[in-house]
Amino acid sequence: MYGMSYGWLLLMVVSLALGGLTKAYINSSFRRWSQIPLTSGLTGAQVAAAVLESNGIRATGITIVATDNNATAPHVRVQQVGGNLSDNYDPRDKTLNLSEGVYGVSSVAAAGVAAHEAGHAVQDAQGYFWGRLRSAMVPVANFGSSAAWVLIIAGVFLRALGSISQGMILLGVIFYACAVLFQIVTLPVELDASRRALTSLAGTAALDASQLGGARQVLTAAALTYVAAALIAVLQLLYYLGFLRRD
C-alpha cells in the first residue's frame, strides 16, 4: 500500500506539472496574440463564418461577410457562450459556440480559436472518420473514466483485506483503457481541425502573413494540451496495469 501511495504521488506530480505547463503556455500565447488586432477588422465570429463558407457550409446566426445563399448547403449556427476559452463545436445541433473573448473580438488569437472550431464543423460536414469515431466513443469514454476509479480502488481495498479482487481491478483497467483510447483518438481530430483552420485562413484575407504565424502559435499551444492529456492518461493506465502484476 505504501508503494502504491508513493507511485500515485509521483504520477500526480508529473500529471500536474505537464498539465500546468501546457495550460500556462496556451494562456500566455492567447494573451499575447489577443493584443494584436486583425488588419481586416473581422471578429472571431466573422472569421469562423469565412472558414465555414470557404468549405461550402452556410453560417447562420450572425451577419455574414460573404455568402453563396445556397439553401441546400449544410449550415452551422455561430453563437456566443459564456466562459473563458470555452469554445467548442457541437455536432448534435450543428452549433459553433464561441466564448466572449473570441466571438465579438478582432484579434489574432480570437481568429485562430474561431477558425479551429470551424475546422471541427467542416470535419462533421465532410464525415471525417476520426471525428465520427470520437463522437461515437463519447458515452463509453465518459462511463469508463468514472467507473474505472470505483472498480480499481474497490479492488485494491478488497485485495488488501485478503479478498479475491483481481477481476474487479482488471475490469476497472479495461474501462479506463477505453477512456485512454478516446484521448488518443482525440489527437488526430484536433490536429486536423487546426490544419483545416490554417489552410482556410491562408486562403482568405482575414489575416496577413505575420498574423497567420501568430494564429499558428496559438493553435500549436492548444494542440500541446491534448498531447499532454493523452500522455497523462497513458501514464495512469500503465500505473493501473501495475496493480495486475502485484501479488
With a CB cutoff of 8 Å and minimum separation 6, the contacts of 190 are 222, 223, 226
Contact of 61 with 123, CB cutoff 8 Å: no
User: Is the four-CA dihedral 160, 163, 164, 168 of positive or negative sign?
Assistant: negative
Distance CA 197, CA 51 (A): 7
129-160 vs 209-244: helix axis angle to the nearest 10?
A: 30
> Please, which residues bridge with residue 75 across strands?
58
Bridge partners of residue 184, in order along the sequence: none
Return the number of other C-beta atoms located less than 10 Å from residue 36's C-beta: 17
The one catalytic residue among 53, 100, 117, 190: 117
Q: Is 53 a catalytic residue?
A: no
Phi-psi region for residue 33, left (φ > 0), alpha (ψ -120 to 50) or beta? alpha
Please, which residues bridge with residue 79 across strands?
97
The CB density around residue 154, as the number of other CB atoms within 10 Å, is 14
Cell numbers 477505453: residue? 178
Catalytic residues: 117
